[in-house]
Structure 1
Amino acid sequence: MLDTFFGGVFNTELTTVIAPGQFLLCVGASLVIGLVLCAMMLWGTRPSTGFAVTLATLPAVVCVVIMMVNGNVGAGVAVAGAFSLVRFRSAPGSAREIGAIFAAMGAGLMAGMGYLGYAALFALIIGTMTMAYHGLGFGSKNHALCYQTLHITIPEDLDYTGVFEPVLQQYATKSELKQIKTTNMGSLFKLTYDLTLRDSGKEKELIDALRKRNGNLEISMCQQETGAATL
Protein backbone atom coordinates (compact mmCIF):
# COMPACT_ATOMS: atom_id res chain seq x y z
CA MET A 1 0.00 0.00 0.00
CA LEU A 2 2.78 2.43 0.94
CA ASP A 3 4.76 1.54 -2.19
CA THR A 4 1.71 2.36 -4.28
CA PHE A 5 1.11 5.63 -2.44
CA PHE A 6 4.71 6.78 -2.83
CA GLY A 7 5.04 5.37 -6.32
CA GLY A 8 4.25 8.63 -8.10
CA VAL A 9 1.77 9.55 -10.79
CA PHE A 10 4.17 9.42 -13.73
CA ASN A 11 5.84 6.07 -13.09
CA THR A 12 6.85 4.09 -16.14
CA GLU A 13 8.74 0.90 -16.73
CA LEU A 14 11.87 3.03 -17.25
CA THR A 15 11.67 4.63 -13.82
CA THR A 16 12.77 2.87 -10.66
CA VAL A 17 10.40 3.43 -7.76
CA ILE A 18 12.13 4.31 -4.48
CA ALA A 19 10.64 2.47 -1.52
CA PRO A 20 9.64 4.59 1.52
CA GLY A 21 12.12 2.70 3.68
CA GLN A 22 14.96 3.47 1.31
CA PHE A 23 13.87 7.10 1.11
CA LEU A 24 13.85 7.49 4.90
CA LEU A 25 17.19 5.71 5.23
CA CYS A 26 18.89 8.00 2.72
CA VAL A 27 17.37 11.17 4.15
CA GLY A 28 18.17 10.16 7.73
CA ALA A 29 21.74 9.28 6.82
CA SER A 30 22.07 12.60 4.97
CA LEU A 31 20.91 14.51 8.03
CA VAL A 32 23.46 12.76 10.24
CA ILE A 33 26.21 13.27 7.68
CA GLY A 34 25.23 16.94 7.35
CA LEU A 35 25.37 17.44 11.11
CA VAL A 36 28.84 15.87 11.35
CA LEU A 37 30.09 17.75 8.30
CA CYS A 38 28.75 21.04 9.67
CA ALA A 39 30.50 20.53 13.01
CA MET A 40 33.81 19.68 11.36
CA MET A 41 33.78 22.27 8.56
CA LEU A 42 32.85 25.12 10.91
CA TRP A 43 35.23 24.08 13.67
CA GLY A 44 37.03 27.07 15.16
CA THR A 45 34.68 29.64 13.61
CA ARG A 46 31.64 31.58 14.84
CA PRO A 47 29.05 31.06 12.08
CA SER A 48 25.55 32.42 12.17
CA THR A 49 22.76 30.11 13.27
CA GLY A 50 21.13 30.32 9.86
CA PHE A 51 24.25 29.25 8.01
CA ALA A 52 24.95 26.37 10.41
CA VAL A 53 21.38 25.04 10.12
CA THR A 54 21.46 25.39 6.33
CA LEU A 55 24.77 23.55 6.06
CA ALA A 56 23.52 20.73 8.30
CA THR A 57 20.34 20.20 6.27
CA LEU A 58 21.75 20.84 2.78
CA PRO A 59 22.94 17.23 2.21
CA ALA A 60 19.42 15.96 2.87
CA VAL A 61 17.94 18.46 0.42
CA VAL A 62 20.41 17.50 -2.30
CA CYS A 63 19.85 13.82 -1.52
CA VAL A 64 16.10 14.13 -2.05
CA VAL A 65 16.56 16.08 -5.28
CA ILE A 66 18.95 13.46 -6.68
CA MET A 67 16.60 10.64 -5.72
CA MET A 68 13.71 12.37 -7.43
CA VAL A 69 15.75 12.99 -10.59
CA ASN A 70 16.32 9.23 -10.65
CA GLY A 71 18.29 9.01 -13.91
CA ASN A 72 16.28 11.58 -15.87
CA VAL A 73 18.87 13.56 -17.82
CA GLY A 74 16.55 16.47 -18.56
CA ALA A 75 15.55 16.83 -14.93
CA GLY A 76 19.20 16.60 -13.89
CA VAL A 77 20.14 19.51 -16.17
CA ALA A 78 17.25 21.57 -14.79
CA VAL A 79 18.30 20.85 -11.22
CA ALA A 80 21.90 21.83 -11.97
CA GLY A 81 20.68 25.14 -13.36
CA ALA A 82 18.51 25.74 -10.30
CA PHE A 83 21.43 25.09 -7.96
CA SER A 84 23.63 27.50 -9.90
CA LEU A 85 21.14 30.29 -9.20
CA VAL A 86 21.61 29.90 -5.45
CA ARG A 87 25.10 31.38 -5.69
CA PHE A 88 23.91 34.50 -7.49
CA ARG A 89 20.82 35.05 -5.38
CA SER A 90 22.69 35.06 -2.07
CA ALA A 91 25.24 37.32 -0.42
CA PRO A 92 28.88 36.45 -1.15
CA GLY A 93 30.41 34.28 1.51
CA SER A 94 33.91 33.53 2.63
CA ALA A 95 36.02 30.93 0.88
CA ARG A 96 35.51 28.55 3.79
CA GLU A 97 31.72 28.91 3.67
CA ILE A 98 31.61 28.31 -0.08
CA GLY A 99 33.80 25.24 0.35
CA ALA A 100 31.52 23.93 3.10
CA ILE A 101 28.47 24.35 0.87
CA PHE A 102 30.10 22.43 -1.97
CA ALA A 103 31.16 19.68 0.42
CA ALA A 104 27.61 19.38 1.76
CA MET A 105 26.21 19.21 -1.76
CA GLY A 106 28.74 16.53 -2.69
CA ALA A 107 27.81 14.41 0.33
CA GLY A 108 24.13 14.83 -0.43
CA LEU A 109 24.65 13.83 -4.06
CA MET A 110 26.39 10.62 -3.00
CA ALA A 111 23.68 9.82 -0.50
CA GLY A 112 20.99 10.48 -3.09
CA MET A 113 22.63 7.97 -5.42
CA GLY A 114 22.55 5.41 -2.62
CA TYR A 115 26.25 5.42 -1.72
CA LEU A 116 25.72 6.11 1.98
CA GLY A 117 29.06 4.63 3.02
CA TYR A 118 30.97 6.74 0.51
CA ALA A 119 29.01 9.83 1.57
CA ALA A 120 29.94 9.27 5.23
CA LEU A 121 33.57 8.55 4.33
CA PHE A 122 33.73 11.64 2.13
CA ALA A 123 32.32 13.83 4.91
CA LEU A 124 34.81 12.48 7.43
CA ILE A 125 37.79 12.93 5.10
CA ILE A 126 36.86 16.47 4.03
CA GLY A 127 35.94 17.51 7.56
CA THR A 128 39.13 16.09 9.06
CA MET A 129 41.37 17.69 6.46
CA THR A 130 39.61 21.05 6.86
CA MET A 131 40.14 20.95 10.62
CA ALA A 132 43.77 19.94 10.15
CA TYR A 133 44.52 22.66 7.58
CA HIS A 134 42.98 25.40 9.69
CA GLY A 135 44.57 24.07 12.86
CA LEU A 136 48.02 24.12 11.25
CA GLY A 137 47.46 27.56 9.71
CA PHE A 138 47.85 26.21 6.19
CA GLY A 139 48.34 28.98 3.63
CA SER A 140 49.04 31.68 6.22
CA LYS A 141 52.81 31.94 5.93
CA ASN A 142 52.50 35.72 6.22
CA HIS A 143 50.50 35.58 9.44
CA ALA A 144 53.19 37.57 11.25
CA LEU A 145 52.64 40.53 8.96
CA CYS A 146 50.20 43.17 10.13
CA TYR A 147 47.80 44.42 7.47
CA GLN A 148 46.05 47.66 8.39
CA THR A 149 43.83 50.24 6.74
CA LEU A 150 44.77 53.80 7.65
CA HIS A 151 42.42 56.79 7.41
CA ILE A 152 43.98 60.26 7.59
CA THR A 153 41.95 63.47 7.69
CA ILE A 154 43.69 66.57 6.32
CA PRO A 155 42.64 70.19 5.72
CA GLU A 156 41.61 71.06 2.18
CA ASP A 157 44.55 73.43 1.65
CA LEU A 158 47.18 70.75 2.41
CA ASP A 159 48.86 69.26 -0.64
CA TYR A 160 49.04 65.64 0.46
CA THR A 161 51.33 64.53 -2.39
CA GLY A 162 54.47 63.12 -0.82
CA VAL A 163 53.64 64.45 2.66
CA PHE A 164 53.01 61.14 4.44
CA GLU A 165 55.13 58.79 2.33
CA PRO A 166 58.39 59.23 4.33
CA VAL A 167 56.60 58.32 7.56
CA LEU A 168 54.78 55.40 6.01
CA GLN A 169 57.99 54.03 4.49
CA GLN A 170 59.59 54.11 7.93
CA TYR A 171 56.86 52.08 9.65
CA ALA A 172 55.46 49.98 6.79
CA THR A 173 56.99 47.62 4.27
CA LYS A 174 54.25 48.49 1.82
CA SER A 175 51.78 51.38 1.58
CA GLU A 176 49.23 52.18 -1.09
CA LEU A 177 46.85 55.10 -1.36
CA LYS A 178 43.47 53.51 -2.06
CA GLN A 179 40.96 56.35 -1.78
CA ILE A 180 40.66 60.11 -1.58
CA LYS A 181 37.39 61.77 -0.69
CA THR A 182 36.10 65.06 0.69
CA THR A 183 34.28 65.30 3.99
CA ASN A 184 32.73 67.93 6.28
CA MET A 185 31.11 69.83 3.40
CA GLY A 186 34.33 69.82 1.40
CA SER A 187 36.44 71.53 4.06
CA LEU A 188 38.44 68.38 4.76
CA PHE A 189 39.94 65.50 2.82
CA LYS A 190 40.14 61.89 3.97
CA LEU A 191 42.93 59.68 2.64
CA THR A 192 42.75 55.90 2.88
CA TYR A 193 45.91 53.77 2.78
CA ASP A 194 46.46 50.03 2.85
CA LEU A 195 49.54 49.28 4.94
CA THR A 196 51.70 46.30 5.77
CA LEU A 197 53.30 47.32 9.05
CA ARG A 198 56.81 46.29 9.99
CA ASP A 199 55.92 46.05 13.68
CA SER A 200 52.35 46.06 15.00
CA GLY A 201 53.66 47.32 18.35
CA LYS A 202 54.58 50.69 16.83
CA GLU A 203 51.12 51.76 15.75
CA LYS A 204 51.05 54.62 18.28
CA GLU A 205 54.42 55.90 17.08
CA LEU A 206 53.13 55.89 13.52
CA ILE A 207 49.98 57.79 14.45
CA ASP A 208 51.93 60.35 16.47
CA ALA A 209 54.26 60.93 13.53
CA LEU A 210 51.32 61.40 11.17
CA ARG A 211 49.56 63.81 13.52
CA LYS A 212 52.46 66.22 13.18
CA ARG A 213 51.84 66.37 9.43
CA ASN A 214 48.03 66.52 9.22
CA GLY A 215 47.42 69.34 11.68
CA ASN A 216 46.44 66.96 14.50
CA LEU A 217 43.17 66.08 12.76
CA GLU A 218 41.46 62.70 13.02
CA ILE A 219 43.46 59.56 12.21
CA SER A 220 42.07 56.04 12.46
CA MET A 221 43.50 52.60 11.83
CA CYS A 222 41.70 49.28 11.53
CA GLN A 223 42.32 45.72 10.42
CA GLN A 224 42.61 45.55 6.66
CA GLU A 225 39.84 43.67 4.88
CA THR A 226 41.37 41.71 2.04
CA GLY A 227 39.49 40.09 -0.82
CA ALA A 228 41.57 36.94 -0.68
CA ALA A 229 39.29 35.24 1.82
CA THR A 230 36.09 35.74 -0.16
CA LEU A 231 34.77 34.28 -3.40
Structure 2
Amino acid sequence: MTIFDSIFQTTSSSVDPFLLFMALGVSLILGLALSYVYKYRTLYTREFIITLTLLPSLMTLVIFLVNGSLGTSIAVAGTFSLIRFRSATSGSRELLAIFISMIIGLAAGTGYLLLALITTILILAIWFLLEKGQSKLPLQTRRHLTLSLAQDQNLEKQLQAALEKYCSAIELISVKSGKKSSNLKLAYEVELLSPNDDFNLSQHLLEVLEVSDFKLTTEAKKRKNL
Protein backbone atom coordinates (compact mmCIF):
# COMPACT_ATOMS: atom_id res chain seq x y z
CA MET A 1 0.00 0.00 0.00
CA THR A 2 1.32 3.45 -0.96
CA ILE A 3 0.68 6.74 0.77
CA PHE A 4 -2.15 7.59 -1.65
CA ASP A 5 -4.00 4.27 -1.38
CA SER A 6 -7.19 3.95 0.64
CA ILE A 7 -7.85 0.86 2.78
CA PHE A 8 -11.56 1.09 1.87
CA GLN A 9 -11.06 0.62 -1.87
CA THR A 10 -12.51 -2.86 -2.22
CA THR A 11 -14.48 -4.53 -5.00
CA SER A 12 -17.23 -5.74 -2.65
CA SER A 13 -19.99 -3.52 -1.33
CA SER A 14 -19.28 -4.47 2.27
CA VAL A 15 -16.36 -3.21 4.32
CA ASP A 16 -14.31 -5.24 6.75
CA PRO A 17 -15.14 -4.03 10.31
CA PHE A 18 -11.47 -4.49 11.18
CA LEU A 19 -10.53 -1.76 8.71
CA LEU A 20 -13.07 0.60 10.24
CA PHE A 21 -11.74 0.00 13.75
CA MET A 22 -8.21 0.46 12.42
CA ALA A 23 -9.17 3.86 11.01
CA LEU A 24 -10.84 4.83 14.29
CA GLY A 25 -7.77 3.71 16.24
CA VAL A 26 -5.38 5.69 14.05
CA SER A 27 -7.52 8.83 14.31
CA LEU A 28 -7.71 8.43 18.10
CA ILE A 29 -3.92 8.08 18.40
CA LEU A 30 -3.38 11.12 16.18
CA GLY A 31 -5.95 13.03 18.24
CA LEU A 32 -3.99 12.22 21.40
CA ALA A 33 -0.79 13.42 19.73
CA LEU A 34 -2.52 16.61 18.63
CA SER A 35 -3.82 17.33 22.14
CA TYR A 36 -0.33 16.75 23.59
CA VAL A 37 1.26 19.25 21.21
CA TYR A 38 -1.55 21.74 21.82
CA LYS A 39 -1.04 21.58 25.61
CA TYR A 40 2.65 22.51 25.27
CA ARG A 41 3.08 26.10 26.50
CA THR A 42 -0.67 26.74 26.19
CA LEU A 43 -3.38 27.66 28.67
CA TYR A 44 -6.10 25.09 28.07
CA THR A 45 -9.26 23.62 29.56
CA ARG A 46 -9.84 19.94 30.19
CA GLU A 47 -13.06 20.01 28.13
CA PHE A 48 -11.28 21.36 25.05
CA ILE A 49 -8.51 18.74 25.30
CA ILE A 50 -11.09 15.93 25.50
CA THR A 51 -12.92 17.41 22.51
CA LEU A 52 -9.69 17.75 20.56
CA THR A 53 -8.80 14.11 21.28
CA LEU A 54 -12.16 12.62 20.28
CA LEU A 55 -13.04 14.93 17.37
CA PRO A 56 -10.86 13.13 14.75
CA SER A 57 -12.51 9.79 15.59
CA LEU A 58 -15.98 11.29 15.31
CA MET A 59 -15.07 12.87 12.00
CA THR A 60 -13.72 9.53 10.79
CA LEU A 61 -17.01 7.79 11.60
CA VAL A 62 -19.11 10.53 9.95
CA ILE A 63 -17.06 10.53 6.75
CA PHE A 64 -17.07 6.72 6.63
CA LEU A 65 -20.87 6.55 6.95
CA VAL A 66 -21.50 8.99 4.09
CA ASN A 67 -18.54 8.02 1.90
CA GLY A 68 -19.45 7.50 -1.75
CA SER A 69 -22.76 9.36 -1.56
CA LEU A 70 -24.02 12.85 -2.23
CA GLY A 71 -24.14 13.48 1.50
CA THR A 72 -20.33 13.57 1.68
CA SER A 73 -20.13 17.15 0.48
CA ILE A 74 -22.93 18.23 2.82
CA ALA A 75 -21.30 16.50 5.79
CA VAL A 76 -17.91 18.05 5.06
CA ALA A 77 -19.42 21.53 4.72
CA GLY A 78 -21.36 21.09 7.96
CA THR A 79 -18.41 19.84 9.99
CA PHE A 80 -16.07 22.51 8.72
CA SER A 81 -18.61 25.16 9.71
CA LEU A 82 -17.73 24.27 13.32
CA ILE A 83 -14.43 26.07 12.77
CA ARG A 84 -16.24 29.34 12.10
CA PHE A 85 -18.31 29.18 15.29
CA ARG A 86 -15.34 28.20 17.41
CA SER A 87 -13.02 30.83 15.93
CA ALA A 88 -15.51 33.60 16.69
CA THR A 89 -14.45 33.53 20.36
CA SER A 90 -11.08 31.78 20.14
CA GLY A 91 -7.53 32.46 19.14
CA SER A 92 -5.69 31.28 16.07
CA ARG A 93 -4.03 28.42 18.00
CA GLU A 94 -7.39 26.80 18.82
CA LEU A 95 -8.52 27.33 15.23
CA LEU A 96 -5.38 25.59 13.98
CA ALA A 97 -5.90 22.64 16.35
CA ILE A 98 -9.53 22.16 15.27
CA PHE A 99 -8.59 22.42 11.60
CA ILE A 100 -5.90 19.74 12.00
CA SER A 101 -8.34 17.46 13.82
CA MET A 102 -10.79 17.86 10.93
CA ILE A 103 -8.08 16.94 8.42
CA ILE A 104 -7.19 13.83 10.47
CA GLY A 105 -10.82 12.75 10.52
CA LEU A 106 -11.27 13.33 6.79
CA ALA A 107 -8.13 11.39 5.87
CA ALA A 108 -8.85 8.48 8.22
CA GLY A 109 -12.55 8.37 7.29
CA THR A 110 -11.73 7.99 3.61
CA GLY A 111 -9.13 5.29 4.38
CA TYR A 112 -5.90 7.19 3.74
CA LEU A 113 -4.31 6.10 7.01
CA LEU A 114 -0.69 6.27 5.90
CA LEU A 115 -1.22 9.76 4.49
CA ALA A 116 -2.90 10.84 7.73
CA LEU A 117 -0.03 9.45 9.83
CA ILE A 118 2.80 10.99 7.83
CA THR A 119 1.27 14.43 7.31
CA THR A 120 0.00 14.75 10.88
CA ILE A 121 3.33 13.74 12.41
CA LEU A 122 5.12 16.20 10.12
CA ILE A 123 2.77 19.09 10.94
CA LEU A 124 2.83 18.39 14.69
CA ALA A 125 6.62 18.14 14.69
CA ILE A 126 6.90 21.54 12.97
CA TRP A 127 4.34 23.02 15.41
CA PHE A 128 6.23 21.61 18.42
CA LEU A 129 9.56 22.93 17.18
CA LEU A 130 8.11 26.38 16.54
CA GLU A 131 6.58 26.48 20.03
CA LYS A 132 9.83 25.31 21.60
CA GLY A 133 11.78 27.91 19.66
CA GLN A 134 9.62 30.69 21.11
CA SER A 135 11.44 30.33 24.45
CA LYS A 136 14.69 31.36 22.76
CA LEU A 137 13.23 34.58 21.40
CA PRO A 138 13.57 37.83 23.33
CA LEU A 139 10.67 38.64 25.65
CA GLN A 140 7.92 40.96 24.47
CA THR A 141 8.76 44.56 25.40
CA ARG A 142 5.78 46.38 23.88
CA ARG A 143 3.23 47.59 26.42
CA HIS A 144 -0.10 49.40 26.54
CA LEU A 145 -0.15 52.08 29.24
CA THR A 146 -3.29 53.87 30.40
CA LEU A 147 -3.28 56.38 33.24
CA SER A 148 -5.46 59.08 34.75
CA LEU A 149 -4.18 62.53 35.77
CA ALA A 150 -5.92 65.50 37.30
CA GLN A 151 -6.33 68.31 34.79
CA ASP A 152 -4.88 70.84 37.19
CA GLN A 153 -1.64 68.86 37.51
CA ASN A 154 1.25 70.10 35.40
CA LEU A 155 2.98 66.74 34.93
CA GLU A 156 3.52 66.67 31.20
CA LYS A 157 7.28 67.14 31.34
CA GLN A 158 7.70 64.78 34.29
CA LEU A 159 5.61 62.11 32.59
CA GLN A 160 7.53 62.47 29.34
CA ALA A 161 10.83 62.24 31.21
CA ALA A 162 9.69 59.12 33.07
CA LEU A 163 8.63 57.38 29.87
CA GLU A 164 11.84 58.32 28.09
CA LYS A 165 13.85 56.92 31.01
CA TYR A 166 12.34 53.44 30.74
CA CYS A 167 11.06 53.30 27.15
CA SER A 168 12.79 53.34 23.78
CA ALA A 169 9.61 54.30 21.89
CA ILE A 170 6.56 56.27 23.04
CA GLU A 171 3.31 56.77 21.12
CA LEU A 172 0.34 58.67 22.49
CA ILE A 173 -2.80 56.86 21.34
CA SER A 174 -5.64 58.84 22.89
CA VAL A 175 -6.56 61.56 25.36
CA LYS A 176 -10.01 61.50 26.96
CA SER A 177 -11.75 63.93 29.29
CA GLY A 178 -15.34 63.93 30.45
CA LYS A 179 -17.43 66.99 31.18
CA LYS A 180 -18.22 65.79 34.69
CA SER A 181 -14.72 64.50 35.35
CA SER A 182 -11.68 66.54 36.33
CA ASN A 183 -9.25 63.84 35.16
CA LEU A 184 -7.49 63.29 31.89
CA LYS A 185 -7.28 59.70 30.66
CA LEU A 186 -4.15 59.08 28.59
CA ALA A 187 -3.36 55.96 26.56
CA TYR A 188 0.15 55.16 25.33
CA GLU A 189 1.83 52.39 23.42
CA VAL A 190 5.42 52.13 24.62
CA GLU A 191 8.45 49.97 23.94
CA LEU A 192 10.34 49.17 27.15
CA LEU A 193 14.14 49.29 27.15
CA SER A 194 14.10 45.96 29.00
CA PRO A 195 11.37 43.35 29.63
CA ASN A 196 12.11 43.75 33.35
CA ASP A 197 11.33 47.48 33.41
CA ASP A 198 7.61 46.98 34.13
CA PHE A 199 8.19 47.14 37.88
CA ASN A 200 10.59 50.09 37.65
CA LEU A 201 8.21 52.12 35.50
CA SER A 202 5.29 51.29 37.79
CA GLN A 203 7.24 52.33 40.89
CA HIS A 204 8.25 55.59 39.20
CA LEU A 205 4.66 56.41 38.31
CA LEU A 206 3.50 55.68 41.86
CA GLU A 207 6.26 57.41 43.82
CA VAL A 208 7.57 60.24 41.67
CA LEU A 209 4.46 61.28 39.75
CA GLU A 210 2.03 60.06 42.42
CA VAL A 211 -0.27 58.54 39.81
CA SER A 212 -2.89 56.47 41.62
CA ASP A 213 -4.80 55.08 38.64
CA PHE A 214 -2.84 53.43 35.80
CA LYS A 215 -2.70 50.15 33.91
CA LEU A 216 0.31 48.58 32.18
CA THR A 217 -0.48 45.56 30.01
CA THR A 218 0.78 43.65 26.97
CA GLU A 219 -2.36 44.31 24.92
CA ALA A 220 -0.34 46.15 22.30
CA LYS A 221 0.95 42.90 20.80
CA LYS A 222 -2.57 41.52 20.17
CA ARG A 223 -3.83 43.90 17.55
CA LYS A 224 -5.08 41.18 15.22
CA ASN A 225 -6.46 37.72 15.82
CA LEU A 226 -7.07 35.16 13.12
Partner of residue 27, structure 2: 30
Task: Say if 2:123 is the partner of 1:136.
Answer: no
After TM superposition, the structure 1 = structure 2 runs for residues 3-152 of structure 1, keeping only pairs within 5 Å, are: 16-72=13-69, 74-90=70-86, 91-137=88-134, 141=137, 143-152=138-147
Distance 1:191 1:16, change over 3 A: farther
Task: Say if 2:182 is the partner of 1:187.
Answer: yes
Distance 1:216 1:42, change over 3 A: closer
TM-score by length of 1: 0.74
Q: What code does the residue aligned with 1:59 have? A: P
Q: Deviations over 1:135-165 (max 9, x none)?
A: 1229x85x34412221211124458888744
**Partners of 2:80 and 2:102 within 8 A in 1:** no
Distance 1:178 1:83, change over 3 A: farther
> Aligned pair count?
214
Q: Mean Cα displacement is larger for which, 215-224 or 155-164?
A: 155-164
Q: Deviations over 1:160-210 (max 9, x none)?
A: 888744543442222333444458x62333322222101234344434554
**Partners of 1:92 and 1:230 within 8 A in 2:** no
- Root-mean-square deviation (CA, aligned residues, Å) is 3.3
For the residues of structure 2 that align with 1:45 and 1:107, how far apart are their CA atoms? 21
For the residues of structure 1 that align with 2:67 and 2:197, how far apart are their CA atoms? 63
Q: Secondary structure at the match of 1:39?
A: helix
Task: Say if 2:214 is the partner of 1:223.
Answer: no
**Partners of 2:83 and 2:99 within 8 A in 1:** no
Distance 1:71 1:156, change over 3 A: farther
**Partners of 1:40 and 1:131 within 8 A in 2:** yes
**Partners of 2:189 and 2:220 within 8 A in 1:** no
TM-score by length of 2: 0.76
For the residues of structure 1 that align with 2:172 and 2:107, how far apart are their CA atoms? 49
Segments of 5+ residues of structure 2 without an aligned counterpart are 1-11
For the residues of structure 2 that align with 1:124 and 1:229, how far apart are their CA atoms? 29
Q: Secondary structure at the match of 1:150?
A: strand
Q: What code does the residue aligned with 1:223 have? A: T
Q: Secondary structure at the match of 2:89?
A: coil
**Partners of 2:141 and 2:191 within 8 A in 1:** yes
**Partners of 1:107 and 1:122 within 8 A in 2:** no
Q: Deviations over 1:31-76 (max 9, x none)?
A: 122112221333232311111111111111221222123133x423
Q: What code does the residue aligned with 2:41 have? A: G
Segments of 5+ residues of structure 1 without an aligned counterpart are 1-14
**Partners of 1:153 and 1:214 within 8 A in 2:** no
Q: What code does the residue aligned with 1:194 have? A: E
Q: Secondary structure at the match of 1:123?
A: helix
**Partners of 2:83 and 2:98 within 8 A in 1:** no
For the residues of structure 2 that align with 1:92 and 1:225, how far apart are their CA atoms? 19
Identity of aligned residues (%): 23
Q: What code does the residue aligned with 1:134 have? A: E
